[in-house]
Structure 1
Amino acid sequence: MNAYALKPLLRVDFVPAQRGLGQEEADGRPGSDPHRIGLFSSQVLKFARQNLNSDTPTPGHHPDLIKAVTNAQNDLDTQIRAALAPTIKDVEKLGYPGLHDPQQIDFRTRIHTSDLLNHNTAVQYRMDGQEGNTYFPEHTIGLGYQNLQSLSYQLVSFRETRLNPSEGAPAAVHLVLLEEPEAHLHVQVQRIFPKKALELITPSDSNHAHLANQLILSTHASHLAHSDSFTRLRYVRRASSESPESMPYSEVINLADVFGDDFKTLAFAERYFHVQHTDLLFADAAIFVEGTAERMLVPFFIDGEFEELSRRYLSFLDIGGSHAHRLKPLVERLGIPTVIITDIDPVEVTKSKANRTVRKATVIRSPKNLECGNDTLTKWHPRKICLDDFGALSGEDLTWVSENGTRVRFAWQLPIFSNGPWPSSFEDSFILSNLDWFKRQMDETGPLGKACEVARECEGPNELNEALHEMLHGSFKKGDFASTIFEKLSIGEPLTCPSYISDALGWLQRELDPKKGGG
């Protein structure tokens, strides 16, 4: 089919990422153009040249403005003739031999509306409610505001040009491609921009309700990407070629059906991503953590112990073991290596007086009669129930691989040493991994002081494990504990990462090693 045959049906407009933001700052430099106008002014000028010139008016466009320009032009002609008449008469005295040669000189000016806007003070600003004649030139306004004004005006101009074509009817479908609109925009603006931008290109009158409109945005901003439903997201994934000699390539992944018919999970994911502002869609890898302490301290461990991994773009999701498995379809579809750090959550299964099954959180004395109460570990991987089975897993048994090759490494608490105490949370695992340090601290207060006191008073590892479990399930403030540990790490205290986490981070660093085809 001839492409020109689609022209009356489809209109395509494009706004590139490079929009000249910040050029006004260079105006005062030597050699700069003193007549350069701002970004928003340039859009107004472009629209005026296309639609407001009196000699080429478009149908239905501002007849009163054209009339005013014409009247002004006639008045200007009269005033110019009066001012120049004496000198012109002297010129006419010279004459020119020849009966039919022009003898009289007259003046007719030509005013274009666009010319009236072609200067750097055509657009000015003033504060709402401000009195007086104080105005601000365009280049004094912030770049974010300039970008927003420019984008808005371009979209409105696209709409008006479409609805008032020089010939024929408006295009049935209007496709607007907008590249990286987030430049200099505040987060609050990014979150509402897609919806508002679509409104700007959509005709508001009922006469054009039958026309179709579509806005396609490309972005690197998580706030903008998660401002709408997953059903409208397309993910561009970079993939490594199988051959080392070949260049990497990109593929577009449709996230519209990533959760299938599970609308509850879809609603949960959209709410979570909107509130947490996660950058999962723009990361090299993802790390799911169980709670506040891991979210605060795992990045610190990465910076201190995993140099190559710290250079990667990592997305941290604080989602917990009871919900992480709900994002399994999304992780699989994105295809990025992922680590899930979660708690083993040991539970003792008993019967109530009403003969109902009760699962009660308990300390791990012997794993043989206990079960794992973590939904992510029982429903996603390794899909075990008996706690004793989790202690026997190692190596590749800890990694889940999807049909499309997505690799997810799971990490949960394990015995600190052979036949030693088996912790059930990050906090007691961290304390047991740094037991000598905790015993040496004598002057600490708050949650850290309480942990140090328990570490000193308990004689054996099993007694300590039970005492820590009782402490952590009481009124212990885990957030304050994590903040204090963060301060200690910041001043160089010799505290080490629990092995179940460090092993998983080491796995992720190897997965992202470009020499092995990772990343």
Structure 2
Amino acid sequence: MRLENIKIRNFRLLRRLSIDLAQDKTTTILVGPNNSGKTSVMEALRLFIGQGAEAPKISFHDLSQLRHRDLKRIERKVAAEADPEKKIELLRRLTPRMRLDLTFSYGEDPADLVAATKLLMDLTPGTSRVRMRIDYRLENAKKLLDEFGARPRKDVSLCDYLKETFRDHFKRVFFKVSPDGKEVEQLEDGNLLKSLLRIDIVPAQRHVDDDEGSRSAKLSKLLHDHYERFYRVDDAAGYQAIEDALTASAGDLTGMYGKAFGRLTKRLQSFGYPPGQKAPDLRVRAELSAETIYRDNARIYYASEHAEKEGVMEEFELPEKYNGLGYKNLIYIVLQLESFRAAIDATMGDKPRVHIIAIEEPEAHLHPQMQTVFISEISKVLETDGGTTAQVLLSTHSSHMIAHSEFEPVRYFRRVGRQVVMQDLSQLPLPPDNPDLLDFLRRYIRLTHCDLFFADKAIFVEGQVERLLLPMMIEEQAKVAGCETLGSQYVSISEVGGGHAHKFKPIIDFLGIPSLIITDLDSVDDGGKKCPVATGKSTSNACLRKWIPEKETVEELQACDNAAKTQGCIRVAYQVTQDGHCGRSFEEAFIYANITWLTDNHAKLSTTKAAVKKAIDAGLTAQAWELSGKLGKVDFALDLMGAPGWEIPLYIQQGLQWLAEHPAK
């Protein structure tokens, strides 16, 4: 049995969210900027599904803020209604509720069929899905109305009153639902959850120290949990052998303690006790248990070898606090996963058919190489010989983890106002006339910029010069009034080339990230040969011809205004006329924008100094076209990086200004 879909309503920023879990992989990956709702998905599962001692502690503040205003509207409607019964009905019908819908698929396994039968509402042959709903809703409208009416302070609103009494009036209610959602039947209680689903969470805040602080999670303590929950079940004979050894050691120590403390006990007897009472015979016994051994006396040591003289290896051991946080973090996560699995193995009676493990930001302190293999290795750790199979929900900010996960398991979260939208990259829409585009995007993003999934905004550039110089340009443009936000936002910069930029349209549109495409005008003559813009007839740039602004002639491109260069959250920037001249490439446009600066500062350049000096002597403006073709692109960029103070070409200024003013969603 597998959990296939999670629907969440009115929980924190998750107003209406539906997540399809990865079908052919163990792990579904939640990515997106901070505070975009990834952790809230895990918290919703934990709070709604909690059992027994872990019963949910859902609070008023878990209710979506968009629903808080509904409570104010409800209060006004109820106050305006005179009929008490209608007041109750209004409150019952309009009060918002939080909801978790879970859709499961099942196979022919008898245990799966038993669990599914209890939720089955569709007898159509071939049906293989069941659905369960958990509502957190108002339990008794009359009780709330009476108690709210009897509140001591009449100036307290319904919203403020529920902040203090929310759990008194709202409870979990369980339903089975038909797969299409049209039929709903209330269940007596949530006992079915115990045999259906278990949720375990490895939180982002992992304190893996071996000090005695109350917040630290000692690895030795985790080892004891592993010993009790896993080893005791997996190898009962080995477990008993350890316990027998501890008992024998305790007997030996007791005899030794008797000798060591014999003098002390005799001295105590000599002090005398009241008449008629015998002085107590004090005895010191050694009591050993695996729990106290692991908790108080066991420490993890890290062994390493170092070559001494003549190649002889010498081994050293250091306590756990002397090892890196990354390795301790990894040990902690693996021990937790083993502990979760052992807890299920030790469950008496029916085991949960579905096990969800939520791991928050496992990349903390991990080396990039470890991040790269983490997802595949975690799948191996969770492999079992049968029985319950775990599914993993993993939230991450690591581009290294995303790079090796392809697109299918990735779910991209972004915040829009006071709610969250989620995009399923397995549903990325692609043009039917380009079946190889998905493979291209997978390879490109894997090899270059997975940070696109974590960016506030994105810039796609054509060449190496722009990519190298853009950070400096962004820093300078952020000093301009109205562009200050560029300095505090994370802007992803990707080099895509003018012939490939249009291939990124599906994913940019899908993610909805404000994006700037900086490309070249690439003017050509009637024969398709590159030429100066002044004599050019059309463009060879595929992005300008096929995407934005979808124009072919130089005349049309030069006539485009800002609106023509913009399509939704995407804008293109290419060379425009500056001081009476328009460049074909970045280098030519840079020269026109910096005639004076280059004349005064060409001596500061390194590799390109001679070529620039020669052009200045012959007339820099007239030589700009020819000079731009002679400059080594990377050399020119590195020279400019070492000699700041130049002007940003106008077309890039305009593009960066648009990007700064376009709100990040």
Listed one character per residue, the Cα deviations across residues 432-453 of structure 1 (whole Å, up to 9, x for unaligned) are 1111222334645532431342
Q: In the alignment, is the contact (CA less than 8 A) between 1:73 and 1:109 conserved in 2?
A: no
Q: Which has the higher contact order (CA 8 A, sep 6+)?
A: 2
Counterpart Cα distance in 2 of 1:293 and 1:279: 20
> How far did 1:465 drift?
4.3
1:202 corresponds to 2:383 = yes
Aligned residue among 566, 589, 594 for 1:399: 566
Aligned residue among 515, 534, 541 for 1:374: 541
Aligned residue among 272, 297, 308 for 2:469: 297
> How far did 1:169 drift?
5.2
1:249 corresponding residue in structure 2:
419
Aligned residue among 581, 585, 592 for 1:432: 592
1:7 corresponding residue in structure 2:
194
1:100 corresponding residue in structure 2:
none
Q: Mark the CA change 1:440 to 1:453 in structure 2 (over 3 Å): closer, same or farther.
A: farther
2:520 corresponding residue in structure 1:
343
Listed one character per residue, the Cα deviations across residues 89-141 of structure 1 (whole Å, up to 9, x for unaligned) are 999xx9xx9xxxxx999998654323221136521111147866731000000
Q: In the alignment, is the contact (CA less than 8 A) between 2:404 and 2:446 conserved in 1?
A: yes
Secondary structure, in 3 states, of the residue corresponding to 1:134? Answer: strand
> How far did 1:170 drift?
4.5
Listed one character per residue, the Cα deviations across residues 493-514 of structure 1 (whole Å, up to 9, x for unaligned) are 3x110100001111111113xx
Aligned residue among 506, 511, 531 for 1:362: 531
Q: Mark the CA change 1:391 to 1:61 in structure 2 (over 3 Å): closer, same or farther.
A: same
Aligned residue among 449, 460, 475 for 1:288: 460
Secondary structure, in 3 states, of the residue corresponding to 2:436? Answer: helix
1:123 corresponds to 2:300 = yes
Secondary structure, in 3 states, of the residue corresponding to 2:422? Answer: strand
> How far did 1:80 drift?
2.3
Listed one character per residue, the Cα deviations across residues 41-98 of structure 1 (whole Å, up to 9, x for unaligned) are 232122224345xxxx43x43412312322440453365258649899999xx9xx9x
Letter aligned with residue 388 of structure 1: E
Q: Mark the CA change 1:422 to 1:72 in structure 2 (over 3 Å): closer, same or farther.
A: closer
Aligned residue runs from structure 1 range 60-79, under 5 A: 60-74=234-248, 76-77=250-251
Letter aligned with residue 152 of structure 1: V
Aligned residue runs from structure 1 range 163-178, under 5 A: 164-168=345-349, 170-178=351-359
Counterpart Cα distance in 2 of 1:442 and 1:222: 40
> How far did 1:239 drift?
0.5
> How far did 1:321 drift?
1.6
Aligned residue runs from structure 1 range 389-468, under 5 A: 389-401=556-568, 407-417=569-579, 420-441=580-601, 443=603, 444=605, 446-458=607-619, 461=621, 463-468=622-627
Letter aligned with residue 498 of structure 2: G
Aligned residue among 540, 548, 551 for 1:384: 551
Aligned residue runs from structure 1 range 207-356, under 5 A: 208=386, 211-240=388-417, 248-260=418-430, 264-307=436-479, 308=484, 309-350=486-527
Counterpart Cα distance in 1 of 2:556 and 2:657: 23
Secondary structure, in 3 states, of the residue corresponding to 1:438? Answer: helix
Q: Mark the CA change 1:467 to 1:68 in structure 2 (over 3 Å): closer, same or farther.
A: closer
> How far did 1:330 drift?
1.2
Work out the percentage of aligned pairs sharing the same amino acid.
Answer: 29
1:507 corresponding residue in structure 2:
658
Q: In the alignment, is the contact (CA less than 8 A) between 2:517 and 2:570 conserved in 1?
A: yes
Q: Mark the CA change 1:64 to 1:399 in structure 2 (over 3 Å): closer, same or farther.
A: same
Q: Mark the CA change 1:79 to 1:235 in structure 2 (over 3 Å): closer, same or farther.
A: closer
Letter aligned with residue 533 of structure 2: I
1:40 corresponding residue in structure 2:
219
Q: In the alignment, is the contact (CA less than 8 A) between 1:284 and 1:336 conserved in 2?
A: yes
> How far did 1:37 drift?
7.3
Normalising by structure 2, report the TM-score.
0.62
1:188 corresponds to 2:369 = yes
1:17 corresponds to 2:204 = yes
Aligned residue runs from structure 1 range 84-99, under 5 A: 84=258
Q: Mark the CA change 1:114 to 1:279 in structure 2 (over 3 Å): closer, same or farther.
A: same
> How far did 1:310 drift?
1.4
Identify the range of structure 1 (119-128 vs 325-334) with the bigger mean alpha-carbon deviation.
119-128
> How far did 1:430 drift?
0.2
Counterpart Cα distance in 2 of 1:455 and 1:274: 44
Letter aligned with residue 479 of structure 1: V
Counterpart Cα distance in 1 of 2:412 and 2:215: 39
Which structure 2 residue ranges, 5 or more long, are not aligned? 1-174, 176-188, 308-312
Secondary structure, in 3 states, of the residue corresponding to 1:397? Answer: coil
Secondary structure, in 3 states, of the residue corresponding to 1:432? Answer: helix
1:149 corresponding residue in structure 2:
331
Identify the range of structure 1 (305-314 vs 111-120) with the bigger mean alpha-carbon deviation.
111-120
Letter aligned with residue 166 of structure 1: T
Q: In the alignment, is the contact (CA less than 8 A) between 2:606 and 2:639 conserved in 1?
A: no
Q: Mark the CA change 1:169 to 1:107 in structure 2 (over 3 Å): closer, same or farther.
A: farther
Secondary structure, in 3 states, of the residue corresponding to 2:498? Answer: coil
**C-alpha RMSD of the superposition:** 3.2
Q: In the alignment, is the contact (CA less than 8 A) between 2:225 and 2:339 conserved in 1?
A: no
1:354 corresponding residue in structure 2:
none
Q: In the alignment, is the contact (CA less than 8 A) between 1:37 and 1:120 conserved in 2?
A: no
Letter aligned with residue 257 of structure 1: Q
Counterpart Cα distance in 1 of 2:457 and 2:522: 25
Counterpart Cα distance in 1 of 2:411 and 2:471: 29
Q: Mark the CA change 1:291 to 1:298 in structure 2 (over 3 Å): closer, same or farther.
A: same
Counterpart Cα distance in 2 of 1:478 and 1:132: 52
Q: In the alignment, is the contact (CA less than 8 A) between 1:41 and 1:122 conserved in 2?
A: yes
Counterpart Cα distance in 1 of 2:613 and 2:298: 68
Counterpart Cα distance in 2 of 1:306 and 1:104: 82
Aligned residue among 636, 647, 658 for 1:496: 647
